[in-house]
């Protein structure tokens, strides 16, 4: 065989390989069009990894799909009970669903894990406020403000908690 024929065969094989890879990349790119589809595919391929469940849960959370988000965060925590971000985000889901005691419990657990986000104190304060536990809310907001003094929303809700506690105390003395 001549060099020209060998070169033509090699070129054809290379073209087939590149074409096959290009089709695979095109098919894979359809999954990257939305976060949920991408992470659902990752969970199918790696169901024993807490990070895939966490990331799918977060995609559901961002889409406002609270039930699905809760399920994925719970799966991540079943695989790794000390996964701080999954516990933190599960607390956010419970808050969104109006499950304040569960939100409080998750936020308190989050604070006992490695490197909890400082905002956990804020979320805990909000949940306490929703339950009418204003003294606890005040402590949570004050703790956050010791860590992040310019957290504006914490200042706002701290003031509201003081106001509501005062009103509650006034009504209790009547």
Nearest 5°: the CA angle 144, 125, 95 is 125
Q: Which of 97, 172, 99 is nearest to 134 (CA)?
A: 172
CA distance 98 to 109: 18
The answer to whether residues 127 and 95 touch, using CB atoms and an 8 Å cutoff, is yes
pTM over 0.85: no
Per-residue pLDDT of the chain (174 residues; tens, 9 = 90+): 556 655 566 666 766 665 565 555 555 555 567 899 999 999 999 999 999 999 999 999 999 999 999 999 999 999 999 999 999 999 999 999 999 999 999 999 999 999 999 999 999 999 999 999 999 999 999 999 999 999 999 999 999 999 999 999 998 776
Angle between helices 119-130 and 134-147 (to 10 degrees): 170
Which domains can be identified in the chain, with CATH numbers?
A: 34-102 (1.25.40.10), 118-174 (1.25.40)
């Amino acid at each position: 065989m001549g060099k020209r024929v060998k070169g033509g065969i090699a070129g054809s094989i290379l073209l087939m390989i590149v074409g096959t890879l290009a089709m695979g990349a095109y098919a894979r790119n359809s999954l990257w069009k939305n976060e949920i589809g991408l992470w659902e595919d990752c969970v199918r391929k790696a169901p024993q990894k807490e990070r895939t469940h966490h990331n799918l849960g977060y995609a559901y959370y961002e889409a406002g799909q609270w039930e699905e988000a809760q399920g994925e965060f719970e799966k991540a925590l079943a695989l790794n009970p000390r996964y701080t971000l999954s516990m933190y985000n599960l607390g956010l889901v419970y808050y969104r669903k109006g499950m304040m005691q569960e939100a409080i419990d998750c936020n308190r657990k989050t604070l006992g894990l490695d490197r909890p986000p400082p905002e956990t104190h804020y979320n805990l304060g909000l949940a306490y406020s929703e339950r009418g536990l204003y003294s606890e809310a005040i402590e949570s907001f004050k703790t956050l403000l010791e860590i992040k003094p310019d957290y504006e929303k914490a200042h706002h809700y701290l003031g509201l908690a003081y106001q509501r506690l005062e009103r509650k105390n006034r009504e209790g003395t009547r």
